[in-house]
Each structure stands twice: as structure tokens, then as C-alpha cells.
Amino acid sequence: MRTIPLFPLSTVLFPGMPLELHIFEPRYKLMIGRCLDEQIPFGVVLIRSGQEANGPLAEVFPVGCTAEIAHVEPLSDGRMNLLVIGTERFKVLELNDEQPYLAGRVETLPLEPPQTLAVLRGARQLPAMLRYYLHGLAEHEVVDLDAAQIDFPHDPLAQMYLAAALLQIPSIEKQALLAAAGAPELLTALLRLYRRENALLNRIKPPASEAAAQRAWLN
């Protein structure tokens, strides 16, 4: 167990995933300054109640992800842009608000890699489902991301975290993925969500004949 600074956000960070942050509030400039000086990570936790900035410290969910600072771009007035990388899950055991920013005594919450053949087979479905999903989002101009350029990691757990991070769903649903009890539970939830989201995309996709007619009319 250890005590780390906590950064309440309206987004969920997963291990191995990048996150860009703009630091402008005095309390978080102080927090990041400490992390840089002491070379320690901070924890990203999803806000349960409250707001990210300019208000009282928010209430947070108990499971979060540590963030290692990969790059710092200093700006004027002490502001900065950060690129951080998620490293490991943790569970908050006790909160501490003695500093201007939130801190917490946490314990690491490792997720064991999938071992059973059924889970490994299920994980092999993710790349195709994710590429289909991203292609559908691009068709509807929701995201500008070329699915063909995604380099899927070989590690099944890293694949799951990538798939979780790329889902365009409410943060509360992503929080449930982060807090999954184990790899089988995470995989089951991911497959269910991708089937749901792909079905929704198919439902709103115009039929090929209609799309062709629209293109002909425009030309």
C-alpha cells in the first residue's frame, strides 16, 4: 500500500493507454509539480459526484489507474500540457484531503492475464469486432481513426484494455470495465458491449441502395 496524489476526471484511464491533459488549476499545478520533483505517478479516478475544475474536491469511484508522466509541455503562467500513460489499476482504501488536491492510500489491483482456452479464444474475436466498430464510427463521422492502422498488441490483456479505451460509451460503463473482477469478466463485458454498439451502428447505417441513390443524386 502507498499514498499517491489523485486526479478526479470525467474520463477513465486504462493501463497501457495514453491520455492528454491540460493543467491550469493551481492545486493541480502543485500536484503535478510534486509528481515531477519526486518522480512519482498520480492516480486518475472517475468522478462520482462533483466537477473536474473550479470547485470543491469531487467524490470519486474507488478503482482507478495510475498515470506515469511521459511528456510535459510547459506553458505560460505555470500551465502545462501533459501526456500520461496508464500503468496499473488500484483500489482506494482511504482518501486524504489535507493538501489542496486529493490524495489516497491505495493498493494495487492487478488483473491476472487470461489463462483458460475459452477466454483466449474469446479475446481473439476482439480485433475484428473493434475494426468493424471503428469503421462504422468513421462512416458516421464520429471518430477520425483508421482502423487498419491500429497495431493490436499480442498480449490478450493489453488487447482488452485497448478495446475498452476505444469504446465510445458513457464513462460509467467504462468504469465498470476498469473495475472488472477478472479477465473473464472483462472479456465478457467487452464482447457484450461491442455486439451492442455494432448492432446500433448497423441499425442506423443507410442501406446500400439508399446510399448509392444519395451519391447519384449528389453527382
CATH number of the domain encompassing residue 152: 1.20.58
**Same domain for 102 and 23:** yes
**What is the residue-averaged pLDDT of the chain?**
86
Same domain, 127 and 182: yes
Write the CB contacts of 191 (distance below 8 Å, at least 6 apart in sequence): 122, 125, 126, 129
Hey, is 141 helix, strand or coil?
A: coil
**For 16, left (φ over 0), alpha (ψ -120 to 50), or beta?**
left
Q: Are residues 17 and 42 in the same domain?
A: yes
In a domain, 131, yes or no: yes
Q: Are residues 103 and 177 in the same domain?
A: no
77 in the same domain as 44: yes
Q: Is residue 11 part of a domain?
A: yes
Residues 33 and 98 in one domain: yes
Domain limits at 162? 117-204
Same domain, 23 and 60: yes
Question: Does residue 131 share a domain with residue 40?
Answer: no
- Least confident span in 9-18, 26-35, 136-145: 136-145
- Of the listed ranges 13-27, 80-94, 132-146, 152-166, the one predicted with least confidence: 132-146
For residue 90, give the H/E element and its range: strand 80-96
Q: What is the pLDDT of residue 36?
A: 95
168: left (phi over 0), alpha (psi -120 to 50) or beta: beta
pLDDT per position as a tens digit, 79-135: 999 999 999 999 999 998 888 999 999 999 998 776 777 777 777 888 889 888 888
pLDDT recorded at residue 219: 42
Question: What are the distances in angstroms from CA 103 to CA 21, 54, 92, 166?
Answer: 18, 18, 9, 28
149: in domain: yes
Q: Are 164 and 147 in contact (CB under 8 A)?
A: no
Question: Do 44 and 65 contact (CB within 8 A), yes or no?
Answer: yes
Q: Which of 7-16, 139-148, 195-204, 208-217 has the highest mean predicted lDDT (pLDDT)?
A: 7-16
Residue 199 reports pLDDT greater than 60: yes
pTM of the model: 0.86
214 is a domain residue: no
Over residues 159-166, the mean pLDDT reads 94
In whole angstroms, what is the distance from residue 101 CA to residue 111 CA?
28
Inside any domain, residue 213: no
Residue 140 lies in a domain: yes
- Specify if 212 maps to a domain: no
67 shares its domain with 162:
no
Same domain as 191, residue 162? yes
Decide if pLDDT at 15 tops 90.
yes
User: Does the pLDDT at position 59 exceed 50?
Assistant: yes
Domain co-membership, 68 together with 128: no
For residue 144, the model assigns a pLDDT of 65
Domain total in the chain: 2
**Same domain for 96 and 18:** yes
Of the two residues 83 and 50, the one the predictor is more confident about is: 83
Q: With a cut of 70, say whether residue 211 has pLDDT above it.
A: no
